[in-house]
Structure 1
Amino acid sequence: MQVSRSLTIKQMATVSGVAAVTISVFIVIQLFHFVQQRRIDYAQQMENVAHTVRQPLSQAVLRADITQAERILNSLKPAGILGRAEVVLPGGLQALHTDFEPSRPVPRLIAKVFKLPVQITVPLYSLEPANPKPMALLILQADSWRVYQFILSALSTMVTTYLLLALILSVAISWCINKLMVRPLRRIANELHHLEPHEILPHQLALPRRHRDDELGMLIRSYNRNQQLAASVQQQASRQSTRYVVTDLPNKTLFLALLEQYLGGNAREGFSVLVLRIETLQEISGVVPDEQRDALMLVLLERLKNGLSDDVQIGQLSVSDFALLVKRASNPFRAMRLARQLLQRLTQPIALQQMYLRPHVSMGLSQLAEGPLTAPEYLNRASSAMMSARQQGKNQILFFDPAMMARAHKRLTQEHDILQGLADGQFALFLQPQLDMNSGRLAGAEALLRMKQPDGSWSLPEDLIANAEELGIIDALGRWVFEESCRVLAEWQTRGIELPLSVNLSAVQLREPSMVTHLQNLIEHHGIRPGSLIVEITETAQIGEPELARRLLSELQAVGVSVALDDFGMGYANLNWLSQFKSLPISKLKMDRSFVRVLPDDDTMVRIIVAIAEIIKLDVIAEGVETEEQREWLLARGVRIGQGFLYSGALPIAEFNKNFLSVQ
């Protein structure tokens, strides 16, 4: 089989082109480096020459002995690198000049690019009496033609060497690519090209030994699978049978056995059983030929498989019914989200021969129950929910338990509201000031998230953060908060306002691998000064093992972010935890408002927190300061920074800037 343009030629040309461009850039950089080094060497040599004649030349100029001065200048002619030597008076008037051999002209572009000629100026001073001002200047200039010859020699050597290297690399890389890719592809193309008509349908490609786990192996496996599907459809059509096409899925008996096995082992992790019926497969039975129905089933089954992860076990119950065991899916919302994803995938239009169909599906879900149930009972529950979904219309999903259905729908609505709110600007940051309670000066601010309510007010629903963590969208919400906070800090710093801004960090965000990188990119993009951004982590947040917490918080500290422990005293602050806490890179403690609220009547916890902070040398911020009595008591115990309604509640950014930063 002939090809008009071989892949070998294309990849050889591509590799050679990339190598040539890369080496050209490298040659230019290295050439500039070599020339600069040669300029420095010439300048050093001319300085050495100048210092050898400086003293006698100064004496000759001081005595106005022109003959002696010319003799000294003429003695410089044997120095091969010089092209010019002269003595110039301070006013710029040339006093003496030595004629060297005429130098060949250097191309103007070369002289401009490499800053030729190389020239130095050495002042000549009188010896007796000492005079701080030079009486004349000795100017030495290198021969530019020598530098030009060096440039040509270096360029020719590097071009020859690196082009030879580029050729060797191109041939080596091209040989490797040809052996790994082009040859296997050529073999496959030749094999397919020479197939006889009767060999096409049952044909299978052999999997190359070195390509079992790469894209070429995936291509061959996909081809073989498609060939098997096509052969199966043709086989069913030739039988003219009313049976549905045989698949490689577990039947009902085997699926129940697998479910029973899972119930006996890992059921405590939670699971969902989903039964779906593809109504279209029942509706077209007897209306279209069996081969078309079977082909439609194979297409839908392929869509179903492609939408599932490794944690899902699928089985076939009948011609149109399928069952799924979704492992580790105890949350109704996650089960519902998977069902919706499958529904969207299965109901996409299908063009099958001369048919154009839009399948519709009914789905039922059952989850881990409180009492012990058998595998058939779980499957019957899901089947019952599926039948109820059929009665409600096309493409419906129902839980066996109506309460689970309501919770799942509520979570889906909340997920949509949060993501849509971010897109529509329904979220905003409010700032609450933190003041030095002794002087009344502004010491910082805390950024608090607010959401616009239907009545136009701004507040934060109590369960919004917890729901965002459960829904898996806290990362998107947290990224928006960080971006807005860095934007506010950048605006302050352009105005010369050095004020730290605190932002709350969810424990779920802290476990997100990309969170530290995202913060680093934001800080670099906005030019945020180190220490200006403070993240507050609640003591009750389950951030994991102490070593993990120490590593994550150290990474935050390394990118210029300070860390404060919020709601201190409300978590698991036992003695063992406190011994581990000392090693965490935390710079501030925030005293929970519940301890400040009971002051001065009950000051036990506040005294303990202040003592702990003094021992481990951390600053304390009192949260929820509302009365003058609380303020005076805290100041008497050394707590200087306060935050609360005594000073101000959370304000919109513009109002905060107007009230607290207008005098900055």
Structure 2
Amino acid sequence: MSTKPSASILIVDDNPENLNVLKRMLSAEDYEVRPLPSGELALRAVQAEAPDLILLDIMMPGLDGYEVCARLQADPRTRDVPVIFISALRDPEDKVRAFAAGGVDYISKPFQVDEVLARVATHLRLNALQQALRAQNARLQEAAALFEVSGEGIILTDAQGVIRRVNPAFTRITGYTPEEAIGQTPRLLKSGHHPPEFYSHFWYTLQNLGYWEGEVWNRYKDGSIHPQWDMITAIRNDQGEVTGYVAQFSNVARRHLTEREIRQRGNYDALTGLVNRSLLLERLDLAFKGHRHQKRQLSLLCIGLDRFKQVNETLGYNTGDLLLQQIAARLTSEIRDVDTAARIGGDEFVIVLVDQVEATATERLAWRLLERLTQPFELPAGNLDIGVSLGLAVFPDDGDEVEVVLRNANIAMSRAKEQGGRQICFFTDAMGRELIERHRLERDLKLALARCELSLHYQPIVNLKSGQPLGFECLLRWQPAEQGFISPATFIPIAESSGLIRSLGAWVIEMACRQLAHWQKRGWSLYASVNVSTRQIPDGVAPDWLLQVTQNLGLAPECLVLEVTESVFATDLESVSNWLREVRALGFRVYLDDFGTGYSSLSYLKNFPLDAVKVDQVFVRDMVEQERDLALIRAILALCQELDLQVVAEGIETEVQRQRLSNLGCTYGQGYLFSRPLPVSAFEDFLQRYAP
């Protein structure tokens, strides 16, 4: 039976032989080992999953070990991971610099196996001890904070019942200051309201059970007497001996009022008055039990507004609140008293329809709700028309548990939104399978970088007359270890919706530039073209960061082309425009990809700084047979010539297409006629055919 690795270790070294030796050595000791060849990849890997220890080389291309360690120390998420430098540098100044960067130890190459294992084990033990101490300190700090901010009065006494400490709430409730209470006993608060046997029973219970709870009448400093609810607990040492007591108390009248408020606030939405999620789940649980016993159906509708965020942003939150209140009123007017209307999120509502004998009755109500909610709302800012999306799931057909049916109704509602909104979507098993698969892919994609499952393929961009490669487009590929190739059309949308596209996109740029620098050193004069997602602009591909990446590798900025699609202009136009101007001012080139397939293309060419457009393959594919496509390409070429923009034609697959484009004045192109996207070695073979 396999056992869980005792610790995870990240090895960072640009020498493959060192990586292999260290990995074999440490894996034999049951450590989980991740070898990486560069500092840049190491910094990204620790963000996905922080190791327990890092073995770090110093002399590496790009970021050296000193800089990697300094960045790890600067990040709160990784500053506590111990770093052992392992380097061939033997100068005392190098070692001092390593410790100054944050290293905990230094091993000289060539290293001894026993020495490495001993130091690794030592620092793992030290780090585990430090983590335990930090956790203990955190618990102590939390306890101290709770003592100070608690709304209940707290008294700490010694074993004889002498008060040693009180919190601010004690003074606020009783009127006694710490100076007046410390050194006294809780008899300071004795009211004379209780008979002697009350205290006898109290002490008997506390001494035998170590705990007492009940109502006590106490006298405050101003002489007034109040009921309190006391909870007293004995504090014991490791030998079980009582070392003191802690007492907590609150005003009973205030407590009863708070309980009533909690029942109201805990069960109903304060804004709309509808049932909230907590009470909804409680009612659903009861309804499911009754319907399961009587073998009846229950329908659950999940309702979401299609553009509620824009309402808040353009008309203000007060208008948004009024809109939600009117929606709640329309929902309650359409359902029976036995049914439930609930608000479970900012703009999400749920309707529970009990005792549904006919599915058609539920469907009729759903369409009636859709019609009712899409009628204009009268608001102070004027009439507002807002779309809604409805998802419907049925118990027990779509699930036998509350959370399952609620989740499935929400999945159906999300599908209605994806399909354009203002419609009803019924849950199907296929939707559930798609969601599970999407979540699995998102989880695996987060670890793909650290697992070295991602790679780049390269498709040449050529001169159409000579076929000479001038550059290449970098295309991301994902090959998980436990399954086959996953199409970019599948995982790129997941990366964009989850936010992973920023880290993946940065990795693509770094790897593309590193490969380009390598090929330029071998004598191939090329440029690299990378796709930039809307979600990356502007912070994910900051101009200063792009300049730093290229400068570190000795690349001229004009060797890097950034491809954007027209969708980028559908976001924050001002920030996109500023980003475009900044990257081009630094010397980088920007191409507009998939030109002609979006909206307002001509205005983009007029108003935004670009270097070239890429004619989408949908026009190239049929240009020989379809005169309209040929006319469109001719118009695009003429327009770009007037605007001094280069043109790259995509998707060229036949010699006739190449010749026709070349005759029209299109200089550059890419497509299967020249080459499919290729891995590194195959692309180098392709380049060899055009070696000078």
Query: TM-score, length-normalised on structure 2?
Result: 0.43
TM-score, scaled relative to structure 1: 0.45
